[in-house]
Structure 1
Amino acid sequence: MIHVCSLSKVEETVARTGAERLLSLLAAGTEVTRPASIARENHLHLVMHDIAVAQDGMTMPGEIHVRDLLDFAHRWDRARPLVVHCYAGISRSTASAFIIAAALAPKRDEVELAQTLR
């Protein structure tokens, strides 16, 4: 199962769900402390800003981020949950959770997938 949360709820969500993997989607300079229960190799931290149009000094989400996200997702055995978070737990994290869910269940209806995320 995939759980989406904000940066402020990472520790709580990982503990409550028993998650084994963590995906962090944060702007450069935003620190995240990996919970002790998450092994280093089970934490992917992608650096990007929450923007849809290029802006000076900011990193737009791009193809390399999606490739890294999909590689990380495909290594997940799904025995225990995955927590996906960004700063607010709304846009980058939800979009990434949707990408992962769709990639891991390609025959599942996308509308149904989207409805399960919120």
Structure 2
Amino acid sequence: MKTLAISSRTICGIEELPVHSQSGVTHVLSIIDPGHPDIHHFEAFSKHLRTTLRFHDIIDPIPGQIMPAKEHVAAILGFGASLDKGAVEGTAGHLLVHCHMGISRSTAAMVTLMAQGDPDASEEELFERLRKIRSKAWPNSVMIAYADEKLGRGGKLVEALRRHYGHQLQHKPEYGQWMRELKRGREVEMALPA
């Protein structure tokens, strides 16, 4: 099977999408809240393949909201596998993953896709790459736990996430209060020294 070389990776929020409309995006993974209207910004993009998933950015059940589930992570991995379909040797792709703010669901999805595409990369290396793509990344811990399980990483992805949280809190201490306000304090408590 010929593999599409993803030479560019972008993570962003909905409001940032217009900035990327002329950047040659070939593949898009959209993760948005259930009930959110479809996103019209993609009308300005050149031809691309797009998959949309709908669930909320939560880590504990909240009445009326949809938790990230194993099926969602399986769909992300299915999207990753589809990057090979129809690939032409020598063709470079530009992958864009977005959620509402480009901080949590999209960053969890991107690190999952990178772990899938580069199974020999260490977990620390994957999170380092993630920070280079999106410095404000705070991946959803539920999604990362499911990805760890599905990719057979034996808890190492979750452990690296804990160190990533520690790194982010060291460089962006305001995230601690912000995540607590978003009912994500459990992730702040997960943090290990970077």
Q: Distance in 1 between matches of 2:81 and 2:47?
A: 17
User: What SS is found at the alignment partner of 1:44?
Assistant: strand
Question: Which of 94, 99, 110 is the aligned partner of 1:81?
Answer: 94
Give the percent of matched residue pairs that are identical in Structure 1 and Structure 2. Answer: 32
User: Compared with structure 1, are the counterparts of its residues 38 and 61 closer, same or farther at alpha carbon in structure 2 (3 Å cutoff)?
Assistant: farther
Question: 1:13: Cα distance to partner?
Answer: 2.1
TM-score (norm 2): 0.56
Number of the residue aligned with 1:110: 123
8 A contact 1:22–1:43 mirrored in 2:
yes
Number of the residue aligned with 2:36: 30
User: What SS is found at the alignment partner of 1:53?
Assistant: coil
Number of the residue aligned with 2:107: 94
Q: Which runs of 5+ in 2 are unaligned?
A: 1-7, 85-90, 132-194
User: What SS is found at the alignment partner of 2:92?
Assistant: coil
Identify the structure with the greater helix proportion: 2
1:19 equivalenced with 2:25 (yes/no): yes
Which structure is richer in relative contact order (CA contacts within 8 A, separation 6 or more)? 1
- Is the radius of gyration larger for structure 1 or structure 2? 2
User: Compared with structure 1, are the counterparts of its residues 104 and 3 closer, same or farther at alpha carbon in structure 2 (3 Å cutoff)?
Assistant: same
CA offset digits 1:15-55 (Å, max 9, x no partner): 23x1101111110122322344244xx11110010100011
> Match for 1:26: what amino acid?
I
**What aligned pairs does 1:30-49 form with structure 2 within 5 A after superposition?**
30-31=36-37, 32-33=39-40, 34-35=42-43, 36-39=45-48, 42-49=49-56
> Match for 1:75: what amino acid?
S
Number of the residue aligned with 2:10: 3
Q: Number of residues paired by the alignment?
A: 115
Question: 1:113: Cα distance to partner?
Answer: 1.3
